Structure 1
Amino acid sequence: MDDAVIDPAHLGRVIHAEATDVLRFERTYPAPAVDVWDAIVAPERNGTWGFPTGYEPRVGGAVSANGAEVGEVLAWEPGRVLEYAFDGPGGRWHLCLMLDAVDGGTLLTFDHLAPDPHDPDYAAGWHWHLDRLAQHLVGEDPAAVESDAHFEELQRLYSQAGG
């Protein structure tokens, strides 16, 4: 991935939906929904581009990280919707991922509802992870890093934009 180029179409934006503000990303990946779903929910895959996280596949099921239960599945529609909440840095996190088949691949709508969807660091972090998911889905192995120039540029970009 060229760290110098940030596609404006990939930028997250804060929208007002269902009486709350939501940080939303919409990404189209050149992969079938079944593969994108597996990359999201299978710990052996989601750990390569994000955080190794396990999901008990049902509404009310456990969300686990590092061997500990940290949250709960709020919606589970295999191949279509994963919504969950978990305890993490900054309080209770609430995320919703929705998949739709489109020409040439799969549209992922990624909503960050809490904590603060206006925080530019959350926007930069999710943008960075979704870029890494794109790498994973085309067979690349995203480098295991704590930070990099691409992430730092995303932090600057979202800070200047106000989240």
Structure 2
Amino acid sequence: VITGYSFNKDRVNNVLKASGLGDLLANDHLNLNTILAKDFENGTDLSGGQWQKVALARDLYADGKIEFLDEPTAALDAKSEAEIYQRFLKENDKKTIFFVTHRLSAVKFADKVLFLDGGKVSGFDTHTNLLQTNPKYKEMYDLQKDAYL
């Protein structure tokens, strides 16, 4: 805990759960006083996916009106990614959220998709409509989808 800094413990626990870190705190040696840096005595490090969840928790706690997320789930497996998007978007349903991703499985969570091809806007619509109207978007989506089959 940082001296002179106060926080709402219930809110912290809620955002940790919403970001997918609730189980980690409940089942591990970590708590709200754990130092997250191996360079310090008794410090610990997290996996890449866990660090992404910490970043999402910080974002939720900050409670901004507009959020910009760049590859927010790149270090997560597909199941964790889906869970995070569902929880994060539910907790932020009154906000405008922009997220950049190369994992097209995540776009189903977006209201609108801005599709870039060669650095130029090639489509702006719902995922479903882009699949029907934008051959390049459909091709890229199908390539990623087929990799899971």
Same fold (TM over 0.5): no
TM-score (norm 2): 0.31
TM-score (norm 1): 0.29
Choose between structure 1 and 2: higher strand proportion: 1
**Structure with higher RCO (Cα < 8 A, 6+ apart):** 1
